[in-house]
Amino acid sequence: MDLLKEVGNARSIGIAGHMRPDGDCAGSCLALYRYLSQIKKEAQIDLYLEPIADKLQITEDSLRVKQENVEGRIYDVFISLDSGSIDRLGFAEEYFKNSIKTINIDHHISNTNFGQVNYVAHDASSTCEVLYELMEKEYIDLTIAKALYMGIIHDTGVFKHSNTTRRTMEIAGALIEKGVPFSDMIDNTFYRKDYHQNQVLGRCLLESILLLKGKCIVSCVSRKMMEFYEVQSADLDGIVDQLRITKGVEVAILIYEADIHEYKVSLRSNGIVDVRKIAVYFGGGGHIMAAGCTMRGTLHDVFNNLTPHIEYQLENKEGTGAGL
pLDDT profile of the chain (324 residues), mean per 10: 96 96 96 97 96 93 91 94 94 96 94 97 97 98 98 94 93 98 95 94 97 97 96 91 96 96 96 94 88 94 95 80 41
219, with CB counted inside 10 A (0-12, 13-18, 19+), is buried
Q: How far is CA 39 from CA 10, 16, 196, in A?
A: 12, 19, 42
Distance, CA of 308 to CA of 306 (rounded, Å): 6
Residue 286 domain-assigned (yes or no): yes
The widest CA-to-CA distance across the chain, in whole angstroms, is 61
Cβ atoms within 10 A of the Cβ of 283, count? 12
> What is the 8-class DSSP label of residue 307?
H
The H or E element containing residue 308 is helix 299-316
Strands 77-81, 101-106: pairing is parallel
- Say how far apart CA 276 and CA 41 lie, in whole Å: 40
For 48, which DSSP code?
Answer: E
Domain boundary among 191, 206, 228: 191
Name every residue whose Cβ is closer than 8 Å to that of residue 209 and which is 6 or more positions away in sequence: 217, 218, 219
Q: What is the pTM of this model?
A: 0.85
- The DSSP symbol for 164 reads -
Q: Are 149 and 251 contained in the same domain?
A: no
Contacts (Cβ under 8 Å, ≥6 apart) of 264: 233, 255, 256, 258, 292, 293, 294
Which of 133, 163, 191 is a domain's end point? 191
Residues 6-62: tens digit of each pLDDT: 999 999 999 999 998 999 999 999 999 999 999 999 999 999 999 999 999 999 999
The range of the structural domain enclosing residue 264 comes to 195-316
Residue 10, CA distances (Å) to 13, 118, 213, 299 in order: 7, 18, 57, 48
Cβ atoms of residues 216 and 307 within 8 Å: yes
Q: What is the pLDDT of residue 320?
A: 47
Residue 113 domain-assigned (yes or no) = yes
Both 97 and 173 in one domain: the answer is: yes
Whether residue 10 is found in the same domain as residue 110: yes
**CA atoms of 270 and 161, how far apart (whole Å):** 10
Distance of CA 270 to the CA centre of its chain: 19
Query: Domain with 264 in it: what CATH number?
Result: 3.10.310.30
